[in-house]
């Protein structure tokens, strides 16, 4: 790895307080390597959320593991820790108690539970104390998908550092961007060594040129991307403050608008790292019609997220159907991401809000 990657990794270690930071090519590749490093493989079960970008579930399928979905907290959209605990206990009990949590088809009843993979949705950390307690009690690996949450804090602790390993992503819509790219952080020495090898075609520490100890991947971060990331780390807190200001402008203008629900920040979140700004329309408002009208009036917007279990390949493989995860489906049905970035002006926010008010009349 080159000098720019080394410097970017050092900046991330300093920022998060972790022992290791590993630059990789994307958030997906980072999560995939975490799954590998956690020892999760063929036929293993991993509890995760259906309300996320598809990569958080896809990385398990890459290793022939099985995502077990648990519904979310309606306030935050993060995985519900009490349901996670119930699911873990039932799965370990086995038989009928286990069956009710498994996908409707294609999963043997004797499949073992190996880990949890929660997501810090939209830049707000999940309920990590409860998730950590469950993982420790039942000896499960805990992978934190913080791809949307660089700079967020849970009870004063940095997002990404709350599981056994965590991943931040730097796609163009993220808090900092390297075009493509991501960073894994962990305090686990053995896992870090393995992931450094996996990103570089399986070349382990001490391997000579063209010697490859492991089956690996070309998941390296390039030097140009790392240089972009390194300089942005010095401005990260400033950039997050700018995004928070935009979120505040939206909240000030939309709080009293009938039919619009704003993002909720819970008390355990001591800092949101605003990734997107997603409003929810009341059930009586047709979200898709409202979105079409906003676009017609020059306001770009899009639904966020489509539930993972209803993605065609997931439904076909595992037999999922509408109604399986009602809270996730409700959030997916009513949520709309509106224009958001740290460089928006107050006048631009005002324009967006005025158009939203019109479609809610």
Contact 114, 40 (CB under 8 A): yes
**CB-count burial class (<10 Å; 0-12, 13-18, 19+) for 136:** exposed
In the numeric block, the tokens 């998730």 are attached to 131
Give the whole-angstrom CA distance, residue 212 versus residue 297: 56
Look at residue 231 and tell me whether its pLDDT is greater than 80.
yes
Look at residue 1 and tell me whether its pLDDT is greater than 80.
no
* Mean of per-residue pLDDT scores for the chain: 98
Q: What is the rounded average pLDDT of the residues 345-354?
A: 99
R_g (Cα) of the chain, nearest Å = 21
What is 3-233's CATH number, 3.90.1150.10, 3.30.70.1140, 3.40.640.10, 1.10.260.40? Answer: 3.40.640.10
Phi (first) and psi of residue 222, to 5 degrees: -85, 165
The CATH 3.90.1150.10 portion of the chain extends over 237-359
pLDDT digits (tens, 9 = 90+) for 269-327: 999 999 999 999 999 999 999 999 999 999 999 999 999 999 999 999 999 999 999 99
For the chain, percent of residues with pLDDT exceeding 70: 100
Say which residues have a Cβ less than 8 Å from residue 277's Cβ, sequence separation at least 6.
246, 247, 250, 263, 337, 338, 340
Query: Domain 237-359 is of which CATH architecture?
Result: Alpha-Beta Complex (3.90)
For the chain, percent of residues with pLDDT exceeding 90: 98
In the numeric block, the tokens 């009208």 are attached to 293
* pTM for this model (two decimals): 0.97
The CATH 3.40.640.10 portion of the chain extends over 3-233
Look at residue 49 and tell me whether its pLDDT is greater than 80.
yes
Give the whole-angstrom CA distance, residue 123 versus residue 130: 19
Say which residues have a Cβ less than 8 Å from residue 144's Cβ, sequence separation at least 6.
118, 120, 128, 159, 160, 161, 162, 163, 165, 166, 167
pLDDT digits (tens, 9 = 90+) for 93-111: 999 999 999 999 999 999 9
Give the whole-angstrom CA distance, residue 105 versus residue 215: 31
């Amino acid at each position: 790895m080159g000098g720019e990657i080394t410097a970017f990794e050092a900046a991330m270690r300093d920022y998060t307080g972790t022992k290791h930071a590993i630059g990789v090519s994307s958030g997906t590749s980072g999560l995939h390597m975490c799954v590998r490093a956690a020892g999760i493989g063929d036929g293993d079960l991993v509890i995760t959320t259906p309300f996320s970008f598809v990569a958080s579930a896809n990385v398990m399928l890459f290793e022939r593991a099985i995502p077990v979905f648990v519904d979310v907290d309606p306030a935050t959209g993060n995985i519900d820790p009490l349901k996670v605990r119930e699911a873990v206990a039932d799965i370990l009990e086995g038989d009928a108690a286990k069956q009710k949590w498994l996908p409707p088809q294609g999963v043997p009843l004797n499949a073992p539970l190996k880990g949890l993979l929660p997501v810090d949705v939209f830049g707000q950390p999940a309920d990590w104390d409860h998730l950590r307690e469950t993982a420790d009690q039942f000896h499960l690996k805990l992978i934190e998908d913080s791809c949307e949450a660089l700079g967020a804090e849970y009870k004063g602790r940095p997002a990404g550092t709350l599981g056994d390993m965590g991943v931040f992503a730097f796609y163009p819509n993220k808090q900092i961007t390297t075009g493509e790219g991501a960073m894994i952080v962990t305090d686990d020495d053995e896992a870090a060594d393995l992931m450094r090898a996996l990103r570089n075609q399986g070349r382990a520490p001490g391997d000579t040129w063209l010697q490859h100890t492991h089956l690996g991947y070309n998941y390296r971060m390039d030097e140009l991307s790392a240089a972009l990331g390194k300089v942005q780390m010095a401005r990260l807190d400033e950039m997050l403050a700018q995004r928070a200001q935009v979120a505040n402008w939206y909240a000030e203008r939309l709080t009293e608008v009938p039919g619009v629900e704003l993002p909720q920040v819970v008390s355990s979140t001591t800092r949101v790292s605003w990734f997107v700004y997603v409003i929810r329309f009341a059930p009586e408002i047709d979200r898709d019609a409202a979105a079409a009208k906003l676009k017609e009036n020059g306001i770009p917007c899009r639904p966020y997220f489509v539930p993972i279990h209803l993605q065609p390949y997931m439904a076909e493989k595992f037999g999922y159907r509408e109604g399986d995860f009602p809270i996730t489906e409700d959030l997916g049905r009513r949520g709309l991401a509106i224009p958001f970035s740290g460089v928006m002006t107050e006048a631009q926010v005002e324009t967006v809000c005025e158009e939203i008010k019109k479609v809610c009349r």
